[in-house]
């Protein structure tokens, strides 16, 4: 989800590659083994602190802002994300950075400053839980079922894609990668619940940085610094590869085939806000914070780290354009010619710079990234299934210990479904593209439903339900239209020069607009809830608790402002 | 019962063990260098020694500061 492997199915093609890219030494194996040992130990250790449903599903709501913030970013920083966007940077140049900056930072700050108080004060345990409080059971059921199904399917697809990467990079057997990683994740999440997932995500975040940071440092030394790197890329590929905005005035002027309106409104406003503020996979981490202030600071801390991620993801892709002696090609071409594909850029850079020991650390970073993403999926699935489907519609009056037990079993079942999905896509790779598209259908309209629910008192139960349904149907309809008739892209993305990336953004924009318009129209035609019932749920109907910071610089808004200034400055510097 | 070991203690242990392993490997490779054909680019800068050293220092700091009392 929000994932970089634009076509994960293309990974299947590289399976044909006979030899592995990396040869590990004994010390590398030791580094990987230590990681697995610590991860499993944390699961067993934290089982003692995960006995109630609040502890198992919400980590006892005891996490500090730093831990929740790092976990918030880490749950999204999967290895496919790392490798995919490094490949995209090689393919599209610095434009890929938009997915980390405008495609994340404004939404994360908005979550911390505007939305978090309502999620937190309502004491909801999930995003569908908030929809239940605001719109009733219909909207909750629709969002919970879509989320649960898509989460485990996506987890399986990522699992398969990662196993393929491990086969290509390390020569590992597909079954070995799938079962070892999934059993490990199932054990530590089922034992320690969200607390264990969060603890491991913090460790994984550190590992990803330590394993990947040396590549851009050594790469910049080899390339002779940033200025020389830009000159080399401009000479080799064209200056459009090193500019963020100046080439987006027309679809034809940049390698991504995209217009700035698509980036700003489609990616920056709809897709990004939809993912970072309503996808329960990431929001669950913030809900585990120990106080409202910590919950507001978590996404702000996360935003600061997210803004730095291009240094370890995008920069290696750009460096590869300059220093790699081989030319990388799309996966389908690689399958025919035997050349390395875009997706292999990060492993190739690892092999170039990292010797024994450091290479093990780099590979561990990839494994850690994969496991953090999978743990995020299964812990969110267990929570939504137990609270918003099983507890809401099937068994409303069970004991607390029964729900905890259900959560533990759900974790195993979720992992098993994921493994099953991984094996299904192994034999029918095209399913991956469909499932990835399905997930994207839901995120944009869900943001419309949630944001109207939080900011507009007049939004009604019927408005929320029909808005969400019509927005989702619009996304599906537009996708089917372009899938059946590719020339329809000129209408969806407003230009005959638009490419696939632009289609995703405009589809999200239209589905969000339809959701918002239908929600507003239906709400105005139906009877609103009394304002007194909206306390704690809607802006203007809620008295927010006063926060008492000792100093002005401790206020979340100050830190959000500082990060916003850096964000604007970076966009201007790399304009 | 709540957890008594901090996540930062676990982080410290992991960094410390990795730092020692990687720096140790770096020192071993000083005495027994890899053949030029299989040595990574810029290996003459010995990134394993200083990166491993940095991780050892960080790991030591976090392990001691957040050790169980």
Higher pLDDT residue, A481 or A51?
A: A481
Asked if A49's CB is within 8 angstroms of B2's CB, the reply is yes
Task: Mention every residue, 6+ apart, whose C-beta is less than 8 A from residue A315.
Answer: A89, A216, A219, A220
B22 and chain A: CB distance < 8 Å anywhere?
yes
Q: Select from A125, A71, A127 the least CA-distant residue to A299.
A: A71
Q: What percent of chain A stands above pLDDT 90?
A: 30
Chain A: nearest CA to B5, how far in angstroms?
9
Query: Taking 50 as the threshold, does the pLDDT of residue A3 lie above it?
Result: no
User: Do the Cβ atoms of A197 and A56 come closer than 8 Å?
Assistant: no
Find out whether A447 and A514 touch, Cβ atoms under 8 Å.
Answer: no
A38 and B25: CB-CB below 8 Å?
A: no
For the cut 60, the answer to whether the pLDDT of residue B60 exceeds it is yes
Residue of B3, B22, B29 lying closest to A45 (CB–CB): B3
Encode pLDDT of A554-567 as tens digits.
Answer: 888 999 999 999 99
Q: Could you read off the pLDDT of A81-105 as tens digits, one per residue?
A: 788 888 889 988 999 999 999 999 9
Tell me, what's the pLDDT at A437?
A: 67
Residue A231 neighbours by CB distance under 10 Å: 16
Confidence class for position B50, pLDDT limits 50, 70, 90: very high
To which residue do tokens 């099953």 refer?
A420
Within-domain flag for B2: no
Enclosing domain of residue B52:
7-31+42-65
Q: Where are the beta strands (DSSP E) in A431-570?
A: none
pLDDT of residue A57: 85
Residue B55 in domain:
yes
Specify the pTM.
0.86
Tell me, yes or no, whether B20 lies in a domain: yes
- Cα A66 to chain centroid distance, Å, stands at 19
- Which residues face A75 on adjacent strands? none
Residue B12 lies in a domain: yes
**A573 found inside a domain:** no
Contact A390, A59 (CB under 8 A): no
Is residue B1 included in any domain, yes or no? no
Contacts of B11 in chain A (CB under 8 A): 202-203, 206
Query: Would residue B24 count as lying in a domain?
Result: yes
Question: Domain range spanning residue A457?
Answer: 2-542
- Whether A300 has a pLDDT exceeding 50, the answer reads yes
Cβ contact, residue pair A34, B17, below 8 Å: yes
Residue A473 CA neighbour count, 13 Å, CB half: 9
pLDDT at A166 over 60: yes
CA distance B53 to chain A (A): 12
In this structure, what CATH number is given to the domain that contains residue A384? 1.20.1730.10
Phi, psi angles (nearest 5°) of residue A551: -130, 155
Q: What is the pLDDT of residue A491?
A: 85
- In angstroms, the separation between the Cα of residue B67 and the nearest Cα of chain A is 15
Average pLDDT of every residue of chain A:
85
Q: Confirm or reject contact between B2 and chain A (CB < 8 A).
A: yes
**Domains identified in chain B, total number:** 1
Q: Is A271 a residue whose pLDDT tops 50?
A: yes
Evaluate whether residue B36 is within a structural domain. no
Instruction: Let me know if residue A339 belongs to a domain.
Output: yes
The DSSP bridge partners found for residue A329 are: A341
| DSSP result, A33-51 | HHHHHHHHHHHHHHGGG--
* A53 within domain boundaries: yes
**Does the residue B23 lie in any domain?**
yes
Q: For an interface test with B, give the residue of A70, A206, A207, A214 to mutate (most B CBs within 10 A).
A: A206
Look up residue A236 and give its two tokens.
């080799």
- Partner-chain contact B48 A48, CB within 8 Å: no
Angle value at C-alpha A108, between A241 and A449, nearest 5 degrees: 110
- Give the C-alpha separation, A315 to A97, whole Å: 9
Tens digit of each residue's pLDDT (9 = 90 or more) over A123-151? 888 889 999 999 988 889 988 988 888 88
Q: Nearest to residue A468, comparing CAs of A507, A522, A504?
A: A522
- Where is pLDDT greater, at A405 or A540? A405
On the question of pLDDT at A111 being above 90, the answer is yes
Residue A277 has pLDDT above 70, yes or no: yes
Number of domains in chain A: 1
Closest chain A residue to B45 measured between Cα atoms? Answer: A218
Confidence of residue A425 (pLDDT cuts 50, 70, 90): confident
Tell me the mean pLDDT in the region A207-215: 90
ipTM for the assembly? 0.93
């Amino acid at each position: 989800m929000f994932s970089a492997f634009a076509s994960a199915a293309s990974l299947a093609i590289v399976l044909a590659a006979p030899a592995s890219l990396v040869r590990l030494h004994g010390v590398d194996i030791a580094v990987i083994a230590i990681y697995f040992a610590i991860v499993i130990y944390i699961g067993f250790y934290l089982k003692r602190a995960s006995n109630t449903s609040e502890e198992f599903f919400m980590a006892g709501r005891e996490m500090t802002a730093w831990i929740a913030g790092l976990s918030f970013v880490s749950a999204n920083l999967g290895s496919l994300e790392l490798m995919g966007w490094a490949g995209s940077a090689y393919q599209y140049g610095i434009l890929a950075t938009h997915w980390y900056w405008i495609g994340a930072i404004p939404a994360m700050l908005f979550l911390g400053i505007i939305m978090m108080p309502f999620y937190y004060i309502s004491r909801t345990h999930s995003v569908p839980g908030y929809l239940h409080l605001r719109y009733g059971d219909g909207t909750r059921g629709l969002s919970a079922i879509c989320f649960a199904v898509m989460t485990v399917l996506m987890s399986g697809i990522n699992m398969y894609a990662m196993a393929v990467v491990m086969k290509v990079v390390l020569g590992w057997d597909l079954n070995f990668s799938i079962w070892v990683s999934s059993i490990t994740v199932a054990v530590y999440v089922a034992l320690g619940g969200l607390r264990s997932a969060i603890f491991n995500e913090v460790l994984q975040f550190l590992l990803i940085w330590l394993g990947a940071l040396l590549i851009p440092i050594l790469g910049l030394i080899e390339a002779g610094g940033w200025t020389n790197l830009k000159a080399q890329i401009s000479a080799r590929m064209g200056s459009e590869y090193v500019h963020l905005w100046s080439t987006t005035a027309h679809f034809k002027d940049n390698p991504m085939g995209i217009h700035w309106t698509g980036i700003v409104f489609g990616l920056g406003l709809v897709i990004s806000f939809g993912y970072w503020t309503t996808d329960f996979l990431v929001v669950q981490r913030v809900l585990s914070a120990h106080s409202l202030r910590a919950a507001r600071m978590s996404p702000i801390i996360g935003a600061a780290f997210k803004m730095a991620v291009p240094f370890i993801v995008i920069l290696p892709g750009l460096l590869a354009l300059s220093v790699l002696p081989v030319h990388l090609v799309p996966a389908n071409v690689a399958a025919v010619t035997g050349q390395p594909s875009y997706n292999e850029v990060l492993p190739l850079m690892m092999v170039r710079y990292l010797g024994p020991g450091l290479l093990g650390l780099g590979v561990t970073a990839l494994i850690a990234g994969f496991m953090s993403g999978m743990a995020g999926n299964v812990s969110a699935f267990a929570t939504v299934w137990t609270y918003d489907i099983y507890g809401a519609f099937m068994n409303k009056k069970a004991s607390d210990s029964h729900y905890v037990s259900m959560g533990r079993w759900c974790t195993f079942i979720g992992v098993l479904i994921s493994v099953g999905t991984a094996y299904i896509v192994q034999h029918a790779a095209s399913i991956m593209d469909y499932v990835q598209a399905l997930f994207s259908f839901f995120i944009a309209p869900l943001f419309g439903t949630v944001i109207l629910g939080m900011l507009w008192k007049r939004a009604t139960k019927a408005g929320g339900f029909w808005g969400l349904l019509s927005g989702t149907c619009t996304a599906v309809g537009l996708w089917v239209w372009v899938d059946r008739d590719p020339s329809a892209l000129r209408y969806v993305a407003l230009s005959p020069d638009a490419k696939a990336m632009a289609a995703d953004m405009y589809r999200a924009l239209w589905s969000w607009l339809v959701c918002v318009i239908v929600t507003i129209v239906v709400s105005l035609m139906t009877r609103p809830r009394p304002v007194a019932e909206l306390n704690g749920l809607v802006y203007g109907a809620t008295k927010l608790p006063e926060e008492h910071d000792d100093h002005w610089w401790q206020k979340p808004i100050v830190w959000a402002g500082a990060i916003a200034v850096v964000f604007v400055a970076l966009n201007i510097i790399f304009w | 019962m709540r957890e008594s070991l901090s996540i930062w203690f676990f982080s410290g242990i992991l960094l410390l063990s990795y730092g020692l392993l990687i720096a140790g490997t770096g020192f071993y490779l000083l005495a027994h260098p890899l053949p030029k054909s299989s040595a990574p680019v810029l290996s003459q800068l010995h990134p394993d020694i200083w990166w491993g050293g940095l991780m050892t220092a960080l790991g030591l700091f976090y392990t001691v500061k957040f050790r169980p009392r």
